[in-house]
Amino acid sequence: MIPIELIQTTAADLMAKAAIEIPDDYHAGLKQAAKTETGPLANYVLNAMLDNYAAAKLDRCAMCGDTGTPRWYIKMGNEARVEGGPVALEAALRRATASATTDIPLRPNRVHPLWRTDHNNNVGIGAPEIEYAFEPEGDWLDLITVHKGGLFGTDYRMLFPSDGIEGIKRFYLDSLVAFGKRGLACQPAIIGIGLGGCKDTCMVLGKRAACLRTVGDVNPDPKIAELEAEFKELGNSIGMGAMGFVGKNMVVDCHIEAGYCHTGGMQMSVHAFCLSSRRAVARLFPDGRVEYRTDPDWFTDYQRRETVEWTG
């Protein structure tokens, strides 16, 4: 049984880690970008960002003043049991989100869409989002928090099989060019693309591709992996860099996730995980051990399973 108290304190720690410490994979990606950037203004911006990550870590201060919309991804091994059950788990995550908002502090971003009510703690109706997944083996629980920022950089479109790869490329470029101008997407970003599913799952796939896969990770389907590499290249050939200044770094990495869709359609979503690509992960065991990491390791073979039975 995983103690509920441990879940809540670990969750609060993760909130701080996500807000303050840029994950190593994205950090390395941005350093690489700064090395290759020849646009003088874009180059200045990338180096300022690198300074900013260092300042945030040193000062224990959120890296970006817009601390995004904190959310939770929970993954459980099939044998995992939580003290108090799933309702206690959700309460613990909501409490940790609220307390971390004051303690770090985070910006209380979450408000009611119409009445703009702000509880000043990032908790409200449907907030934070809590999503679940399971793995066939294990008694552990993974807590993953993502603080995605950005009102800009995300889009959805219903394409059709006849649109083909040319249509996919067009929508991809349209999204980057539209949201990259003036740097509204706070690029260079990790671009996540969802293909297929239904409209909602397509959005979910794309968002998870951006937020739950690390820089350098490739899709196990070699043809999709090729597309990922091609799209990264394509995005960086637009001629646009950080803040929409002339430059050659728009995409730190591109991840594509596919889901089976209606035979007539080819849904597509695009998501940009910004310069503050905030995520933090911990694995909790029943004996009280906690292992921190920054790779969510979300998309396992089991999560991408294709057939009726799982025979991994």
The bridge status of strand 279-284 relative to strand 290-293 is antiparallel
Residue choice 9, 28, 66, 295 for contact with other proteins (CB under 8 A): 66
Q: Which is nearer to ligand SF4, 30 or 204 (CB)?
A: 30
Nearest CB to ligand SF4, comparing residues 168 and 272: 272
Cα distance between residue 305 and residue 211, in whole Å: 20
Find the binding residues for ligand SF4 in span 133-162 (CB under 6 A).
149-150
CA 114 to CA 225: how far, in whole Å? Answer: 42
Q: Which uninterrupted H or E stretch holds 271?
A: strand 266-273
Rg (CA), the chain: 19
* Closer CB to ligand SF4, 7 or 45, in the complex: 45
Binding site partner of 48, from ligand SF4, other proteins, none, Cβ cut-off 5-8 A by kind: other proteins
Decide: is 23 part of the binding site for ligand SF4 (CB under 6 A). Answer: no
Span of 78-86, 152-160, 253-261, 297-305 interacting with other proteins by CB under 8 A: 152-160
Residues within window 235-294 making contact with ligand SF4, judged by CB under 6 A: 274-276
Q: Please answer whether residues 282 and 290 qualify as being in contact, where contact means their C-beta atoms are separated by less than 8 angstroms.
A: yes
Q: How far apart are the first and last CA of the chain?
A: 26
Q: Which of residues 86-145 bind other proteins (CB under 8 A)?
A: 101-102, 104-109, 111, 116, 118, 120
CA distance 249 to 190: 11
Nearer to ligand SF4 among residue 255 and residue 271 (C-beta): 271
Residues 6 or more apart whose Cβ sits within 8 Å of residue 50: 30, 31, 34
State the residues that interact with ligand SF4 by CB under 6 A: 64, 66, 68, 149-150, 186, 274-276
